[in-house]
Amino acid sequence: MDNRKSFLKGAFCGALAILLTAGVVSCGLYTKGVSASGGKTVTPDAERKLSILNSLIEESYLGEVDKKELREGLYEGYVGGLGDPYSAYYDAEETKSFMEATEGEYSGIGAVMTQSKDSGIITLTHVYEDSPAMKAGLKDEDILYKVEGKEVTGEDLTEVVSRIRGEKGTKVELTVLRGKKNEEVTVTAVRDKIETQTVQTRMLEGDIGYLAVSEFDSVTYNQYVKGLDALEGQGMKALVVDLRGNPGGNLNIVCDILDIMLPKGLIVYTQDKNGEKREMTSDEENKFTLPMTVLVNGNSASASEIYAGAIQDYGLGKIVGTQTYGKGVVQQIFDLQDGTCVKLTIAEYYTPKGRNINGKGITPDVKVEFELDEKNPEADNQLDRAVEELKKEL
């Protein structure tokens, strides 16, 4: 089986492992702003073995040797040895990309992509309006096949990111597979500065507001508040919050958002390896009182599950859709003081009622599988059901 056939075989298998937003990585649920320090952990035996490997490479390896790349590979492999899909070492370029991603402003193409943790397939799930990606002709559900002529299936997503990103005004060639026949389409996108539009709103029939959150970045809180205010200003009587395909994001941001939705009480708590608990709470200042539903699916993960879990535990609205991803752990970003960083899993989190959903996910109150209507691609039976549930309360 050739590489392309192997690529196609796994194209529709697996689940979300990591999110690529316009050439920038956003991973699960994380906290930021911590410096790492500590004593020596490499044993004398390990140092001896590294010295032998270095000598063998210098004496016998046929190709060119880049000492910097060897060192970076050493650090990456060291963290990779944990066997944790959510922990990773980022070199200087990757760190810059990651930090820009979490801030929600970057130079890229304006497309949200997901990668299967099983097959390594990368799929475009949302192309931003008027973005470089849209202008180049990319579409939702395109499968990313090549970047600058090189296949990307199964590659580390951060490495793919470094090739898609670049300075404003520069070009990147992307090849995608499209439609049921997997038509191969090659386009050239011109990179530009983009603020991630993580929140989209519109008013549905019957004065029901619709608010979709694609990820929880630093820009999301203000966009969420602005969107909610706009819907309330239009006379909203009920609300659908759509978290389908939302892979998570910043722990503090989702807690800030839930603080304006929940009554006074516990939002979520985390517990580390030493059993130490950290509680995030909401105050009495704000509370959402209109009927609401929350849409989720198998790609709703991490911070999305914190949101859905809190709404469900407080009984503020029904969760509609399919079982969520089940990522109940938190990562922390450690600054290595040289422009690089490491992201490590440091705690588990629990919903207000003490549920740990890691490996299990949030079970919807109303289970609805998405059904594609080929005659009407815009049809959304899950959204329709969420609206039906709200109308029962109006």
Catalytic residues: 302, 313, 327
Residue 285 vs residues 261, 263, 264, 288: alpha-carbon distances, Å: 10, 9, 8, 11
Half-sphere exposure of 126 (CA within 13 A, CB side): 18
For residues 13 and 153, is the Cβ–Cβ distance under 8 A? Answer: no
At residue 381, the 3 state secondary structure works out as helix
Element spanning 303, H or E: helix 303-314
Question: What span, in angstroms and rounded, lies between the C-alpha atoms of 394 and 375?
Answer: 31
Contacts of 315 (CB under 8 A, 6+ apart): none
Tokens 């004398």, located at residue: 44
Show the tokens assigned to 244: 């389908």
Question: What span, in angstroms and rounded, lies between the C-alpha atoms of 110 and 311?
Answer: 30
Q: Count of CB atoms within 10 A of residue 70's CB? A: 13
